[in-house]
Amino acid sequence: MLKVNPTKPEIEKIRVAARLIKNGGLVAFPTETVYGLGADALNPKAVEKVFAAKQRPPDNPIIVHIANKQDVCRLARQVPAAAEKLASQFWPGPLTLILKRSSLVPDITVVGLDTIAIRMPRNEVALALIKESGTPIAAPSANLAGKPSPTRAEHVIDDLAGRIDAVLDAGPTRIGVESTVVDMTVSPPLVLRPGGTPFEKLKSIIDDVQLHQTVGAKRRMRVLEARSPGMKHRHYAPNAQMTIVEGKPNQVVTRMQGLVYLYVAEGKKVGILATDETRSDYKADVVKSLGSRKKVTVIAHNLFKTLRELDLEGVDIIIAEGIPAKGLGLAVMNRLRRAANFNVIEAG
Ligand code: TXA
Ligand code: MG
């Protein structure tokens, strides 16, 4: 573990990590969204190690991270005008663009697809690492496949210790949910995964952009309908069984407290995922708040950390409040519903 200054990363530490990347090693590093598990995107053997370390399903392609907008032209064979517009507006930032890939990109990085996911992160440590490595860096979130994404270096260690070569530790990530993934190879462009760049902001730049039907889904959709291979895998899941209760806050609280009594009667240890406005309304073994309903950025920032904390408390059941699926809230609800394996209850 290498501790680095988040805003002015020490160059000698970045060089150590960059050498590992150049030699085909695996380095976990912070981005503004979550920690990524980085490898040289152009080295098939290195990318293969990423799949092995994470136990990632072999049909789930990896996002390629760049430090210079011009690098898109090497990795993609076509950059539509709308993609250029989004990149100039939102890069560096939590936005991933799917484009037609060039022949430079090894098959394994994109699991044999004709497309590539590219993003330029807004994080000084990530940008320094990519620049110093002199190669684009393929990096999925640095968690074991299926687990909540890591927003701190400790989360990476908990999941991947002994399986990777280094972690650059720059403290907690700012945003806390992953990048928004937009498919620019179709018309109109399609959001495949909501994330750190809200849909409303994309729409203000490109007004025909649409949400894929799985993005806001409260029920699992058939795999055939999933455009992004990652959509069909279980995600973000804590060890505990999880239920989401959505609806008006006061009705949600009543319904959730009712569920607590039922589970407690069955001898279960129950954890509640609440908000600041409601946390004192619950009686349960563990009650945690994600933050105020008025500050969805704080809720997003705390989401994955709190899911991991509930697992450490050893609860059998997690019951979580839904929040409005607007702005960053869409990404939060997308992750919560998947974490709960679409076990969603509507309260009134
Ligand atoms: O914020 C983020 O995006 C973080 C940080 C580390 O950059 N990365 C991340 O990577 O979340 P990962 O692997 O956990 O999620 C990548 C998502 C998956 O759902 C994957 O299926 C999708 O992007 N994806 C990657 N390449 C794709 C492609 N060519 N076509 C469609 N979807 C793709
Ligand atoms: Mg992931």
| Nearest atom, ligand 1, residue 121 CA | 7
pLDDT 10s digits, 144-175: 999 999 999 999 999 999 999 999 999 999 99
State the ligand closest to the CA atom of 231. Answer: 1
State the ligand closest to the CA atom of 32. Answer: 1
pLDDT 10s digits, 261-287: 999 999 999 999 999 999 999 999 999
Say yes or no to pLDDT of 221 above 90: no
Report how far ligand 2's centroid is from the alpha carbon of 270 (Å): 26
pLDDT 10s digits, 47-89: 999 999 999 999 999 999 999 999 999 999 999 999 999 999 9
63-65/95-100 β-pairing = unpaired
pLDDT band at 223 (very low <50, low <70, confident <90, very high): low
pLDDT band at 142 (very low <50, low <70, confident <90, very high): very high
Dist CA 162 CA 171 (whole Å): 20
Report how far ligand 2's centroid is from the alpha carbon of 187 (Å): 26
Q: Which residues line ligand 1 (CB under 6 A)?
A: 31, 33-34, 36, 60-63, 94, 96, 98, 110, 113, 115-117, 121, 139-141, 178-179, 181, 192-193, 228-230
Give the torsion sign (CA, 136, 192, 82, 111): positive
Say yes or no to pLDDT of 326 above 60: yes
113 Cβ contact partners less than 8 Å away, ≥ 6 residues apart:
61, 101, 229
pLDDT 10s digits, 93-141: 999 999 999 999 999 999 999 999 999 999 999 999 999 999 999 999 9
Res 174: pLDDT: 98
Averaged pLDDT of the chain? 96
pLDDT band at 236 (very low <50, low <70, confident <90, very high): confident
| Nearest atom, ligand 1, residue 62 CA | 25
What's the one-letter identity of residue 225? Answer: E
Protein residue with least CA distance to atom 30, ligand 1: 228
Burial of 137 (0-12, 13-18, 19+ CB in 10 A): buried
In DSSP notation, 6-21 reads: SSS--HHHHHHHHHHH
Inter-residue contact 51 to 229 (CB < 8 Å): no
DSSP SS3 for 215: coil
Res 231: pLDDT: 65
Q: What percent of the chain has pLDDT over 70?
A: 97
Dist CA 224 CA 104 (whole Å): 29
| Nearest atom, ligand 1, residue 143 CA | 14
The pTM score is 0.97
Instruction: Please report which helix (H) or strand (E) contains residue 112, including its range.
Output: none
